[in-house]
């Protein structure tokens, strides 16, 4: 253990809402998954290097991790002994501690479940067929347009709480079910309101370019202009979004439209990310000039793009819970991507149409069983590489001195169990910004 006094170079920048964060010593950790190492997206064999410390302890002060080591070192540490009266000890009961999950792709601003679509699809209708019949994304429009900002933020906050109950501490949250100037801005405000009430970190994204709303069906260029000339400048001016995302796909936005929207984002100082290759092939090179931080879905990525992508800092974010929920046979080609050297992340894609889950451990499980990623690879893809997909790798994604005190505690003896016990609530505690705030299971950890 290295005491805070000797770690002056780290942890000086306060994390979010950490002023009141107590000093916390997590101890009795059977496996600590540190993911220590280079602050860059992990590729190939690096995805399996978890940096496991057995019988470990972690000290967090002021919302930051200040030291990581064995329990024996913590017991002997002079700083800890001197300050014991103001350190709260958390007994992790022989469980596993890993960096809080980074869910780098979610759509939480909606109000209603899509139960009719669900039944139609069970009866054989396709995702695109349902969308053409007026279901899909467009069916969530009215709920968002007619709801108040407060109602929307309540929905977002309840989703964030469910996420943290299963170990997630950082969430990328998109607008995209308002599809009007007023409703998209209202959606981003709702994300900001909810984020202020949640101890974790929320990264807001403007997804005005989700689909063309019905009133613009015959004048789509006017809607693209509305996004570029009104929504993006307003979101940037009011700092309501860090990213602009586009659903670049047949039935949504064409490559040329996507280029215009991403160019506007860059012009207004916002970073970019894209939904691409979910339903059909597309060339990533057409968008590379806008330097998306993440290419998301990638089910139909072409072989020729793999080598180029492997050379980029961009992350391929795979969203297999959508494939699961849509009942698809085909899943994103994780092995091809990893073997080509592409940095791969995994996220929930939480949304009412294709992925109504907030549960990252479930995503880990699907990625193992349907995409043949190993239990170690899926941990890295949902922590370190998720952080890289949001360019937060200097603060998130590993348990190392100087990083934010964002941790998930699981009531298992081996990290592989997190993916193994399907749809089980085994998260026994979540710490974000140094605050212990959430537990899903009946085996919750306790402060001593
Ligand atoms: Zn999505």
389, 421, 436: which is the final residue of a domain?
A: 389
Do 114 and 249 have their domain in common?
yes
Give distance in angstroms: CA of 85 to centre of ligand 1: 47
Q: How many domains does the chain have?
A: 2
Residues 6+ positions from 188 with CB-CB distance below 8 Å: 175, 204, 206, 235, 240, 241
Q: How far is the CA of 174 from the centre of ligand 1 (A)?
A: 8
Boundary of a domain, candidates 389, 409, 428:
389
Q: What are the b/e assignments for 5-42, b being 16+ CB within 10 Å? A: eebeebbeeebbbbeebebbbbbbbbbbbbbbeeeebb
Domain shared by 364 and 253, yes or no: yes
pLDDT at 436: 87
User: What is the C-alpha to C-alpha distance for residues 233 and 216, in angstroms, rounded to an integer?
Assistant: 20
Q: Same domain for 234 and 181?
A: yes
Asked whether residue 426 falls in the same domain as residue 349, the answer is: no
- Ligand 1 centroid vs 258 CA: distance in angstroms? 15
395 C-alpha to ligand 1 centroid (Å): 24
Whether residue 369 is found in the same domain as residue 414: no
Output the pLDDT for position 96: 98
- Distance, CA 65 to ligand 1 centroid (Å)? 32
How far apart are the CA of 386 and the centre of ligand 1, in A?
A: 15
pLDDT in tens, 269-323: 999 999 998 988 888 889 999 999 999 999 988 888 999 999 999 999 999 999 9
Cα distances (angstroms) measured from residue 3 to each of 33, 62, 89, 434, 436: 20, 14, 16, 17, 21
| 194 and 253, same domain (yes or no) | yes
Whole-number Å distance, alpha carbon 319 to ligand 1 midpoint, is: 8
pLDDT at 164: 96
What is the structure's pLDDT at 446?
A: 55
**What pLDDT score was predicted for residue 334?**
97
CATH number for 13: 2.30.40.10
pLDDT at 11: 31
Find the 32 Cα to ligand 1 centroid distance in Å: 31
Measured in Å, residue 60 CA sits from the centre of ligand 1 at 34
On whether both 109 and 177 belong to a single domain, the answer is: yes
Residues of the chain with pLDDT under 50: 2-18, 442, 448
Whole-number pLDDT of residue 15: 40
Question: 3-state SS of the chain?
Answer: CCCHHHCCCCCCCCCCCCCCCCEEEEEEEEEEECCCCCCCCCCHHHHHCCCEEEEEEEEEECCEEEEEEEHHHHHHCHHHHHCHHHEEEEEEEEEEEEECEEEEEECCCCCCCCHHHHHHHHCCCCHHHHHHCCCHHHHHHHHHHHCCHHHHHHHHHHHHHHHHHCCEEEEEEECCCCCCHHHHHHHHHHHHHHHHCCCCEEEEEEEEECCCCHHHCCCHHHHHHHHHHHHHHHHHHCCCCCEEEEEECCCCECHHHHHHHHHHHHHCCCEEEEEECCCCCCCHHHCHHHCCCEEEECCCCCHHHHHHHHHCCCEEEECHHHHHHCCCCCCCCHHHHHHCCCCEEECCCEECCCECCCCHHHHHHHHHHHHCCCHHHHHHHHCHHHHHHCCCCCCCCCCCCCCECCEEEECCCCCCHHHHCCCCCCEEEEEECCEEEECCCCCCCEEC
Residues 297 and 425 placed together within one structural domain of the fold:
no
Whole domain around residue 66: which residue ranges? Answer: 4-100+397-447
207 C-alpha to ligand 1 centroid (Å): 9
Domain shared by 191 and 334, yes or no: yes
What's the 20 CA to ligand 1 centre distance in angstroms? 35
Measured in Å, residue 355 CA sits from the centre of ligand 1 at: 9
Same domain for 324 and 304? yes
Shared domain check, 149 and 52: no
Instruction: Give the per-residue pLDDT at 10.
Output: 30
- Per-residue tokens: 439: 């537990």
* pLDDT for the residue numbered 445: 62
| pLDDT at position 444 | 59
CA of 211 to the centre of ligand 1 (A): 12
Q: How far is the CA of 250 from the centre of ligand 1 (A)?
A: 15
Provide the CATH number for the domain around residue 266. Answer: 3.20.20.140
> Which pair of tokens denotes residue 30?
């059977």
Beta bridge partners of 240: none
Say what the pTM is.
0.94
Structure confidence at residue 193 (pLDDT): 98
- Whether residue 169 sits in one domain with residue 52: no
How far apart are alpha carbons 37 and 241 in whole angstroms? 30
Tell which of 367, 389, 411 closes a domain.
389
What is the distance in A from the centroid of ligand 1 to the CA of 351?
Answer: 7
What is the structure's pLDDT at 438? 67
């Amino acid at each position: 253990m290295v005491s805070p006094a000797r770690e002056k170079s780290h942890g000086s920048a306060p994390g979010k809402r950490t002023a009141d964060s107590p000093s916390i010593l997590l101890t009795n950790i059977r496996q600590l998954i540190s993911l220590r190492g280079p602050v860059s997206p992990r590729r190939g064999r690096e995805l399996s290097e978890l940096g496991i410390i057995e019988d470990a302890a972690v000290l967090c002060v002021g919302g930051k991790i200040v030291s990581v080591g064995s329990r024996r070192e913590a017991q002997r540490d002079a700083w800890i002994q001197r300050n014991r009266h103001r350190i709260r000890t958390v007994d992790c009961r022989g469980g596993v501690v890993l960096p809080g999950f980074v869910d780098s792709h979610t759509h939480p601003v909606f109000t209603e479940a899509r139960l009719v679509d669900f039944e139609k699809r069970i009866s054989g209708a396709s995702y695109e067929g349902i969308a053409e019949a007026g279901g899909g994304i467009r069916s969530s429009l009215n709920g968002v347009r007619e709801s108040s900002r407060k109602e929307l933020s309540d929905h977002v906050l309840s989703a964030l709480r469910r996420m943290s109950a299963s170990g997630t501490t950082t969430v990328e949250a998109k607008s995209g079910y308002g599809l009007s100037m007023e409703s998209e801005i209202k959606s981003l405000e709702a994300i900001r309101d909810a984020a202020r009430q949640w101890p974790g970190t929320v990264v807001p994204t403007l997804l005005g370019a989700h689909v063309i709303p019905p009133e613009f069906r015959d004048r789509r260029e006017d809607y693209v202009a509305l996004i570029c000339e009104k929504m993006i400048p307003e979101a940037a001016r009011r700092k309501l979004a860090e990213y602009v995302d586009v659903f670049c796909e047949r039935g949504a936005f064409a490559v040329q439209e996507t280029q215009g929207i991403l160019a506007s984002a860059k012009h207004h100082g916002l970073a970019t990310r894209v939904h691409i290759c979910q339903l059909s092939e597309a060339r990533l090179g057409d968008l590379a000039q806008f330097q998306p931080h993440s290419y998301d879905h990638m089910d139909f990525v072409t072989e020729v793009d793999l080598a180029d992508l492997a050379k980029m800092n961009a992350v391929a974010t795979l969203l297999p819970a959508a494939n699961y929920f849509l009942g698809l046979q085909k899943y994103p080609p994780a092995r091809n991507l990893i073997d080509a050297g592409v940095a791969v992340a995994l996220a929930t894609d939480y949304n009412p149409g294709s992925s109504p889950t907030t549960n990252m451990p479930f995503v880990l499980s699907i990625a193992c069983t349907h995409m043949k990623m190993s239990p170690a690879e899926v941990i890295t893809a949902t922590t370190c590489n998720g952080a890289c997909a949001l360019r937060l790798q200097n603060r998130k994604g590993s348990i190392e001195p100087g990083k934010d005190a964002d941790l998930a505690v699981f009531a298992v003896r081996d990290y592989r169990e997190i993916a193994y016990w399907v749809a089980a609530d085994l998260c026994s505690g979540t710490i974000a910004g140094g605050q212990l705030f959430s537990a899903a299971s009946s085996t919750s950890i306790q402060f001593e």
